[in-house]
Amino acid sequence: SLEALVCDLEPGSIPASHPNILDKLKLCPALTGAQRDALNALLLSGDTAYGDPSSWDLHTLQDLGPLVLALNQTTLSLVAEAAREDFRRSIAAAYISQGHSQREKSLMLLRALAAASAASRARLKRSSDRCRSDPITASNIDDIIYLFPDQLDQLDACLSNEVLIENLEAVLELPIPSEASWVLKKKVDEFFQSSGIPEDQLRRLGVLSRLYTQQEISQWPLTSSDTLSALLSSSGGQWEDSQVQQLLSRYLALGGSLTGPLLQETGGRRLCNLQEEQIQQIPAGAIGTAGQLNISSCSQAKKEQLYGKAREAFASLASSPGPYYCQIRPYLGGAPAEDLKDLANARVAINMDLDTFLALNPKELQKLSVTDVKHLLGENLPELKKAEHEPSVLSWVQLQSQRELDCELGIGLQGGRPQPTGTASPAVPTTPATNVTPVPTTLPTVPSTSASVTSVTTVPTPTAISSHSTPQPSTVPPRTPTPSTLSPTPPDTPPHTGGPTVPTVPTATPSARPTVTTAVPCPTHPAATTDRATS
């Protein structure tokens, strides 16, 4: 429905469109240089109604109509010599009856055909002049291995560029030394020097693609995910990280979108080399199908970007903590504390492994409670003891109560905050009192010999603690002991028998003497009991 509007399409849209676009391009009075290059790339792919250029005949060239004027030397050189000659004669025969405008176009086309024929003949002549043996053809393509590695000049002379391009896959399957690879790359560049390597030919480069510089890669017409996948395939050998980054940058710059399989081919380490703006272009769905990516080398900002996309990709699994954790685990280095707490409180134990725990954002880890960490690690909690000297673990421990670390985790982590200081308890005699002198009901204030004793409490009714005295009547009923008045009693202390005693409780002043603290038992252990209580 675009009709003539296809003449204004961007060059990258031409090879990406349905092959029927060629019929619409015939309506264009003229194409830009970039559009002509895109047109040739589409024709060279062979995925059109016209087939591969090497199979064209006179009728095919005539069917191309105005598009034949846009053919470059690379495309024309692939057309059989006989077909080119027949086409040249048909143009010359019609030239006399043509108008001025049409004659200009015919002359342009005749010059292009003559240039293609001359270039083919010149290449064949140069090869035949320098080649000291039979030229390499499709029938004896395997003979090039005899030219390795000390006859590279004969490889260049006896293997024409045309034969190499037509049999590139067969050549690259041979055991080619690195020196010979550079000769083959040079011949490929010579063949496509006028318009650059078409996208469909990039897929065929194999090991030769690894020889191209970042600058050369930046000129490739890399618009198809299939092309990028073919280039990233490990079958072609190892890429340098800088080359992969340029491949991805070029692909994204031309409007490409990274898919899950492409991310798998790229790998997490090289994914981390992308700019944050480029990572932002990755669809969340691609993360969902990319498998397990190791993004540990990413910056914290990039980890958070990728986590956000992963969280979106696996949102449908959020109600199933187990499967959700398995999918989101590689990206938890970018998770905020709130999400980590949600995982910790899930109804299913996720049993986070120690490596994943140590990969969490240290800033967010400090926001987790002891209970959060306990629930996150689950059965792997004892492993945390092995990592107690890791900086992130050490910082987290120092923020926690040592009592809570002991009671909740119980794995021997040390370095937490000490228990807050409390009020000193009065000393309990370790031997029973034998001769206690009765004390008057109202006691006078006695000066303290210790800086820590600041006051005495008067009690209206005296009691006595003596192992030999008899009970005395009291005018005040005994009070029920409270937890604050309970005091441990040595096992050998005789039972209380009554009598006057000094029920004063000295109050300790922390600044005056070392504070006496009473250990507070963990909630999981029973509190100490007493055999008696002081009134």
506-524 pLDDT tens trace: 444 444 434 434 344 454 4
Which tokens in the block code for residue 379?
Answer: 């059965």
Structural domains counted in the chain: 1
Confidence of residue 72 (pLDDT cuts 50, 70, 90): confident
pLDDT of 532 higher than 60: no
| Residue 208 burial (CB count, 10 A) | 21
Which tokens in the block code for residue 512?
Answer: 């005056």
**DSSP letter (8 states) at residue 255:** T
> What is residue 179's predicted lDDT score, i.e. its pLDDT?
85
SS3 labels along 339-369: HHHHHHCCCCCCCCCHHHHHCCCHHHHCCCC
Contact, 82 vs 89, CB < 8 A? no
Confidence of residue 488 (pLDDT cuts 50, 70, 90): very low
* Residue 104 within a domain: yes
Which tokens in the block code for residue 161?
Answer: 């560029």
Using DSSP's 3-state secondary structure scheme, residue 417 falls into strand
| Residue 290 burial (CB count, 10 A) | 26
Residue pLDDT, tens place only, 212-257: 999 999 999 999 999 999 999 888 888 998 999 999 999 999 999 9
pLDDT of 46 higher than 60: yes
How far is it, in rounded angstroms, from Cα 7 to Cα 31? Answer: 7
* Residue 142 within a domain: no
Distances (CA, A) of 308 to 285, 357, 408: 12, 18, 32
Confidence of residue 74 (pLDDT cuts 50, 70, 90): confident
Q: Which residue segment(s) compose the domain that 108 sits in?
A: 2-120
> What is residue 145's predicted lDDT score, i.e. its pLDDT?
80
How far is it, in rounded angstroms, from Cα 266 to Cα 294? Answer: 11
Least confident span in 157-166, 185-194, 397-406, 512-521: 512-521
pLDDT of 493 higher than 80: no
Distances (CA, A) of 434 to 158, 430, 431, 471: 122, 13, 9, 15
CA triple 209-197-212, angle to 5 deg: 30
User: 212-227 in b/e burial notation, b at 16+ Cβ within 10 A?
Assistant: beeebbeebbbbbeeb
Least confident span in 88-92, 109-113, 152-156, 160-164: 109-113
| Residue 413 burial (CB count, 10 A) | 19
How far is it, in rounded angstroms, from Cα 381 to Cα 136? Answer: 68
Nearest to 197 by CA among 219, 175, 177: 219
Distances (CA, A) of 444 to 426, 433, 458, 462, 505: 20, 22, 8, 13, 14
Q: Report helix angle 241-253 to 225-232, nearest 10.
A: 180
> What is residue 481's predicted lDDT score, i.e. its pLDDT?
42
The percent of residues in the chain predicted with pLDDT above 90, rounded, is 41
pLDDT of 53 higher than 80: yes
State the average pLDDT for the chain.
Answer: 78
Using DSSP's 3-state secondary structure scheme, residue 195 falls into coil
Least confident span in 62-76, 123-137, 247-261, 350-364: 123-137
* Residue 111 within a domain: yes
Confidence of residue 124 (pLDDT cuts 50, 70, 90): low
Contact, 7 vs 31, CB < 8 A? yes
Confidence of residue 24 (pLDDT cuts 50, 70, 90): confident
* Residue 177 within a domain: no
Give every CB contact of residue 91 below 8 A, 6+ residues apart in sequence: 106, 109, 110, 113
> What is residue 62's predicted lDDT score, i.e. its pLDDT?
86
Contacts 24+ apart (CB under 8 A), 296-303: 296/268, 296/333, 296/359, 297/268, 297/269, 297/272, 298/268, 298/271, 298/272, 298/333, 299/272, 300/333, 300/334, 300/361, 301/276, 302/272, 302/274, 302/276, 302/334, 303/331, 303/333, 303/334, 303/361
* Residue 479 within a domain: no
How far is it, in rounded angstroms, from Cα 274 to Cα 269? Answer: 10
Contact, 393 vs 387, CB < 8 A? yes
* Residue 493 within a domain: no
Exposed, middle or buried: residue 134 (CB in 10 Å: 0-12, 13-18, 19+)? exposed
Residue 159 phi/psi, 5-degree rounding, is -110, 110
Nearest to 19 by CA among 49, 44, 41: 49
Q: 458 or 391, which is more confident?
A: 391
pLDDT of 131 higher than 50: yes
* Residue 100 within a domain: yes
Residue pLDDT, tens place only, 351-397: 999 999 999 999 999 999 999 999 999 999 999 999 999 999 999 99
Q: Report helix angle 100-130 to 81-95, nearest 10.
A: 150
Q: State which amino acid sits at residue 386.
A: K
> What is residue 104's predicted lDDT score, i.e. its pLDDT?
78
How far is it, in rounded angstroms, from Cα 477 to Cα 301? Answer: 72
Confidence of residue 4 (pLDDT cuts 50, 70, 90): confident
* Cα first-last separation, the chain: 102
Q: 464 or 32, which is more confident?
A: 32
E strand spans, 422-470: none
Residue pLDDT, tens place only, 396-454: 999 999 999 999 999 999 999 998 765 444 444 444 444 444 444 444 444 444 334 33
Could you tell me if residue 349 is left (phi over 0), alpha (psi between -120 and 50 degrees) or otherwise beta? Answer: beta
Nearest to 414 by CA among 426, 424, 401: 401
> What is residue 122's predicted lDDT score, i.e. its pLDDT?
59
Q: 414 or 481, which is more confident?
A: 414
The CA dihedral of 175, 179, 180, 184, to the nearest 10 degrees, is 120
Q: State which amino acid sits at residue 51.
A: G
| DSSP alpha helix (H) spans, 79-144 | 81-95, 100-130
Contact, 310 vs 287, CB < 8 A? yes
**DSSP letter (8 states) at residue 52:** -
* Residue 95 within a domain: yes
